[in-house]
Amino acid sequence: MLARTDSRARALVLLLVTALVAGGIGTRLAWWQIVERDRLADMALAQLNQTEPIPAARGDITDSTGELLATTVELQSVFATPPSIDDPASTAALLAPLLGLDVHALQDTLATDDPWVWLKRRVDLQSSDAVRALRLPGIGLLPETKRVYPVRGVSPNTTLAAQVLGFVNVDGIGQYGIEASDNALLAGLPGSMTAQQDVAGRQIADSVFQLKAPVDGSDLKLTIDAGLQHLLESAMWDTYRRNYAKGVTGVVMDVNTGAVLALATFPSYDANAYGTLDPELFSNPAVARQYEPGSVMKAFTIAAALDAGAITTHDKFRDDNNLRLAGVRIQNADRYTYPYGHGRITAGDVLKLSNNIGAAKIGLTLGGQGLYQALHRFGFGEPTGIEIAGEAAGVVWNPDGPNGSGELTTAQNSFGQGLSVTAMQLVAGYAAIGNGGRLVTPHVVAGWTTPDGTYHPAEQPEPERVMRQETADTVLRLLTDAVDNGIAQPASIPGYSVAGKTGTAQIAGPITERVRIGTDRKGHPKYEKVTHYGYISNWIDSSFISLLPASDPKIVTLILIHRPAVWGLYQMAQRPDDLFRSLAPDILSYLAIPPDRVERPDGQVASR
């Protein structure tokens, strides 16, 4: 009887336990199927969901006339899934010549355990068609876009205005030039697509449930004129070779608006093949290279002194070719011809003779702080704001600052030594002389067109008045006289008045010398090599800057030759003013700027 009772008790306990477990499972199932149903369903779907980016189309870049300078094309990129390749050796042997790859390196790549790898991105159409025709297991192609620059430059292996445009890297990001500075505007905003995939990773038909459309990039219109750019590049390339120069820069800019019409620099590069080139080529030296400008700065010294009322055009300054400040002797460039200077000279004579002593004394008359502040007001020592990536600020030393040397710094600032500028700063400063005293912002972007077809002109800052109209007009007249009757006379052009200034500046760099440091125990002299920073013999920057026509300036031009081969007293194969004389008539003709001077029957020249 007791055994039967124990058996019934155990059965009852087992029944209760089973009921509790079943109840718990049932409750949990009910929780999952009723309370958590929606959340679990979303989790299940999420495992099948795959979000893919949809790239935006990058905007084109055109010149001021609509000529295409940069656009985007679709190419194929070759990839491999190594685990799917049975014979890496034979596959590599077939692919390597089509892709221009080393067969052994390619075989090693194909023999790895990597599930997926790029072999070569953005191959040309002929190569991608050949790869596709092979039908090799584990080898596939995917479409990708590539930025192309269709206009060839004037020199071999270059594209037009390469250092203005920059390029786009393999990840679709603009590098250098306009491509970098306006990358966001050109690139647009990528979209995305979310769809479901099966277990094999294939998209399920009609399963797209979330679509964010991309916003395509805007098309940029530049102020650069491709025809004028080609003309300028041809001239700069020719003088680059003639002078065996390390670099050349040419600029043509509208004096009233700051629109850069042409900007040519060499050495340049092919933006379609940037990956194989020295990165040193990519920066635009017109905005990125800082250099001592030399005598072209004398116009600003005179402008600052006239504007402040410190001098008049009738005041005379003693030039004896011998000014000593802080233990440093300052002399003129023509010191061998005129060892005792030119006597009493005016501000106009300073420009005609390119006289260092006269410029220094005008700067000292104005005062160090007055000149320092004026040079900053004229735009030196800070970026111009041009839309080319990598712009430098330049350096103007405060004569009373920790790096200044008082009157010596003031004198050196007066004739363009010791301080540093960029070519674009110099062009903007001379534009202010030509347009009546307003500092415009140099720019290369005229505007952009959004994907809906709306054109937006680029807005520029309001020009700042940096000198009185009277001052600008006076300096313009003095610069015209410097070309008509001064050392810049070789820049004269028949039929046109030219206001301009030459500039020659030494270049500083590391100098290594053998210096005696004592004697050894036997009394023999001991030497060691010492490197210091100083001006290097025959390293110069030679330039000519002009305002055309001088009677009513429309354009400012700059020709800068960096480290030409020189002999004697800075003689060179082609000086900047000589190049200007041959180039300027073509520029004026291209821009349809009429002559402003006519020659009378008596041989005299009359201005219109």
Q: Which of 466, 470, 493 is nearest to 555 (CA)?
A: 493
Within its chain, how far is the Cα of 84 from the centroid?
Answer: 46
C-beta atoms surrounding 451 within 10 Å: 15
Query: Do residues 433 and 303 make contact, with C-beta atoms less than 8 angstroms apart?
Result: yes
Per-residue pLDDT at 362? 98
Question: Is the same domain home to 293 and 389?
Answer: yes
Range of the domain at 477: 226-607
Q: What is the C-alpha separation between 407 and 385, in angstroms, rounded?
A: 31
Render pLDDT for 406-439 as a digit per residue (tens, 0 to 9). Answer: 999 999 999 999 999 999 999 999 999 999 999 9
Share of the chain above pLDDT 70, in %: 89
Q: What is the C-alpha separation between 557 and 563, in angstroms, rounded?
A: 20
Per-residue pLDDT at 196? 54
* Residue 597: strand, helix, or coil: strand
215 lies in a domain? no
Place of tokens 């180039």: 583
Question: Is the same domain home to 468 and 354?
Answer: yes
Residues 10-36: b if buried by 16+ CB within 10 A, e if exposed: eeeeeeeeeeeeeeeeeeeeeeeeeee
Per-residue pLDDT at 512? 84
Q: What is the C-alpha separation between 502 and 354, in angstroms, rounded?
A: 8
Maximum C-alpha span of the chain? 154
Question: Is the same domain home to 130 and 263?
Answer: no
Within its chain, how far is the Cα of 537 from the centroid?
Answer: 29
Q: How confident is residue 248, by pLDDT bands cut at 50, 70 and 90?
A: very high
Please give the tally of structural domains in the chain: 2
Question: Is the same domain home to 512 and 363?
Answer: yes
Task: Give whole-number Cα distances, 199 to 44, 49, 50, 80, 81, in Å.
Answer: 12, 11, 12, 21, 18
Place of tokens 């599930």: 115
Per-residue pLDDT at 591? 98
Question: Is the same domain home to 248 and 349?
Answer: yes
Burial of 8: CB neighbours in 10 Å, binned 0-12, 13-18, 19+? exposed
Strands 61-62 and 219-222: parallel
Task: Reply yes or no on whether the pLDDT at 142 is more than 60.
Answer: yes
Average model confidence (pLDDT) for the chain? Answer: 90
Per-residue pLDDT at 230? 98
Task: Reply yes or no on whether the pLDDT at 49 is more than 60.
Answer: no
Question: Is the same domain home to 118 and 247?
Answer: no
What H or E segment, with its residue span, contains residue 120? strand 117-123
User: What is the average per-residue pLDDT within 239-263?
Assistant: 98
Helix, strand, coil shares of the chain as percentages rounded to 5? Answer: 35, 30, 35
Question: Is the same domain home to 253 and 123?
Answer: no
Q: What is the C-alpha separation between 89 and 78, in angstroms, rounded?
A: 17
577 lies in a domain? yes
Per-residue pLDDT at 530? 85
Query: Do residues 321 and 276 make contact, with C-beta atoms less than 8 angstroms apart?
Result: no
Position 464: which residue type? E
Question: Is the same domain home to 125 and 258?
Answer: no
C-beta atoms surrounding 525 within 10 Å: 9
Residue bearing the bigger pLDDT, 9 or 368: 368
Give φ, ψ of 527 to 5 degrees. Answer: -130, 155
Helix 298-307 × helix 469-485 angle, to 10°: 140
Q: Which of 313, 337, 427, 329 is nearest to 378 (CA)?
A: 427
60 lies in a domain? no
Beta bridge partners of 191: 54
Q: How confident is residue 200, by pLDDT bands cut at 50, 70 and 90?
A: very low
Q: How confident is residue 205, by pLDDT bands cut at 50, 70 and 90?
A: very low
Render pLDDT for 482-530 as a digit per residue (tens, 0 to 9). Answer: 999 999 999 999 999 999 999 999 998 888 888 888 888 888 888 888 8
Spatial neighbors of 15 by CB under 8 A, at least 6 apart, are none
Task: Give whole-number Cα distances, 590 to 176, 226, 238, 557, 594, in Å.
Answer: 29, 12, 19, 14, 10
157 lies in a domain? no
Task: Reply yes or no on whether the pLDDT at 23 is more than 90.
Answer: no
Q: How confident is residue 211, by pLDDT bands cut at 50, 70 and 90?
A: low
Q: What is the C-alpha separation between 587 and 572, in angstroms, rounded?
A: 24
Task: Reply yes or no on whether the pLDDT at 391 is more than 60.
Answer: yes
Tokens of 516: 């005696």
Task: Reply yes or no on whether the pLDDT at 158 is more than 70.
Answer: yes
Per-residue pLDDT at 208? 47
Residue 463 DSSP one-character state: P
Spatial neighbors of 389 by CB under 8 A, at least 6 apart, are 166, 176, 177, 178, 180, 181
What H or E segment, with its residue span, contains residue 64? none
Render pLDDT for 470-494 as a digit per residue (tens, 0 to 9). Answer: 999 999 999 999 999 999 999 999 9
- What CATH code is carried by the domain that includes residue 504? 3.40.710.10
Residue 47 DSSP one-character state: H
572 lies in a domain? yes
Q: Which of 177, 259, 265 is nearest to 442 (CA)?
A: 259
Question: Is the same domain home to 127 and 231?
Answer: no
Task: Give whole-number Cα distances, 389 to 204, 288, 416, 442, 558, in Å.
Answer: 45, 9, 26, 13, 20
User: What is the average per-residue pLDDT within 259-281?
Assistant: 95
Nearest 10 degrees: Cα torsion 109, 113, 118, 120: 20
Residue bearing the bigger pLDDT, 387 or 26: 387
Q: How confident is residue 268, by pLDDT bands cut at 50, 70 and 90?
A: very high
Question: Is the same domain home to 137 and 251?
Answer: no
Question: Is the same domain home to 472 and 597?
Answer: yes
Tokens of 347: 């501000």
Q: Which of 337, 327, 374, 333 is nearest to 357 (CA)?
A: 333
216 lies in a domain? no
Q: Would the CA dihedral through 314, 320, 323, 328 be positive or negative?
A: positive
Question: Is the same domain home to 144 and 231?
Answer: no
Query: Do residues 235 and 221 make contact, with C-beta atoms less than 8 angstroms apart?
Result: no
Render pLDDT for 273-332 as a digit per residue (tens, 0 to 9). Answer: 998 899 999 999 999 999 999 999 999 999 999 999 999 999 999 999 999 999 999 999
Q: Tell me how long the chain is.
A: 608
Per-residue pLDDT at 368? 96
* Residue 30: strand, helix, or coil: helix
Q: What is the C-alpha separation between 59 and 445, in angstroms, rounded?
A: 14
Q: How confident is residue 154, by pLDDT bands cut at 50, 70 and 90?
A: very high
Q: What is the C-alpha separation between 297 and 419, in angstroms, rounded?
A: 10
Q: What is the C-alpha separation between 433 and 300, in angstroms, rounded?
A: 9
Strands 597-599 and 499-519: unpaired
Query: Do residues 54 and 61 make contact, with C-beta atoms less than 8 angstroms apart?
Result: no
Per-residue pLDDT at 16? 77
Beta bridge partners of 532: 511
